[in-house]
Amino acid sequence: MSIASRNAAVPPEQIEDYPSGYPRLARLISAHPSFSIFRRFSAARARILLYQQDRIAELEETLTTLDEREQKVLFLGSRRRDANPERRAVLAQLKSAMADYDDLLARTREALNAKPAYRRDVASLRDWINDSGCLSRDESKYLEKNDLISLVSSEQGLLESMSAAVEDLIIWISSRTRWNFRTPHSRDSNMYIFFENLIGTFTRIILALFASATIFIPIVISSLMSSESARLVLVVLSIAIFVGILSLTSRPRVSEVFLAGATYAAVLVVYVSGTGN
């Protein structure tokens, strides 16, 4: 199990110092935000929204019926003089129902926009709960659901795999050398809780080296080519690979993909044409 810690300046209380159960689990979750994994409850939210929506529709129909049956037209033309208590009661209920509905809509939209939980974090948290026995089996089943979200941003796709590989490498180094990258959140020798920025920093360094290679490798290869057609094919392939990697490692908008691809192509063409001359 591995994760990184945000607040390492002051040694925190260790996880094992807390009573077994929810207190210890809460301490583990607080050790790093990536363990803030919870369910989205999409179906339950949709059910409540549907019920609340129908409740508003029902009140709206009741209000329409009251208006159509109103004997005193003056009541409909003046809020101040409307003395129909039933209509006032329905309007009050409608106001309350609409407020609840709007609030639920906003919170549901926020939940639906939350990022899916990082699979590696889910597995680590589930393994820790199973090994420690802090929660009953019924209450830890939530980690087996497919609607888990993380309260912090998580990388997806290729970046997720790269971060996992970097994490495994650091675990291997920590377990076989004196270099200790772990924070003092736990006394468990099998638990690797790293400083929060450690994994991200190593991953960004690797990405920076890889990004540099996407420019320098085509330039080096083109310098060994004498055919203009071969250089053109090299440029086209390099651009395709660059755009593909960009799409896999991030979630850019279409305009950003075009802009990055055009910029890369311009830089590459200038250097490749320079080596040809």
pLDDT in tens, the chain (277 residues): 554 444 444 445 777 788 888 998 988 888 877 888 999 999 999 999 999 999 999 999 998 887 777 666 655 555 566 657 777 888 899 999 999 999 999 999 999 998 888 888 898 899 889 888 888 889 899 999 999 999 876 555 556 666 667 777 776 777 777 666 666 566 666 666 666 666 677 777 877 787 778 778 887 887 777 777 787 888 888 888 888 777 766 666 777 777 877 887 887 777 766 655 5
pLDDT of residue 76: 56
Give me the pLDDT at residue 55, please.
Answer: 95
Q: Which two tokens stand for residue 100?
A: 């609840």
Task: List, in sequence order, every beta strand (DSSP E) within 2-158.
Answer: 2-5, 37-39, 148-150
Quickly tell me which residue has 């420019």 as its tokens. 215
pLDDT at residue number 166 = 72
Closest CA to 1 of 161, 100, 125: 125
The distance from CA 225 to its chain's CA centroid, rounded to whole angstroms, is 45
Angle at 63 between CA 60 and CA 64, to 5 degrees: 90
pLDDT of residue 152: 79
Q: Give the span between the Cα atoms of 35 and 120, in whole angstroms.
A: 10
| pLDDT score recorded for residue 219 | 78
**pTM for this predicted structure:** 0.61
What is the distance in angstroms between the CA of the first residue and the CA of the last residue of the chain? Answer: 54
Q: How far is CA 232 from the centre of its chain?
A: 39
3 touches 193 (CB < 8 A) = yes
The distance of Cα 212 from the centroid of its chain, to the nearest Å, equals 28
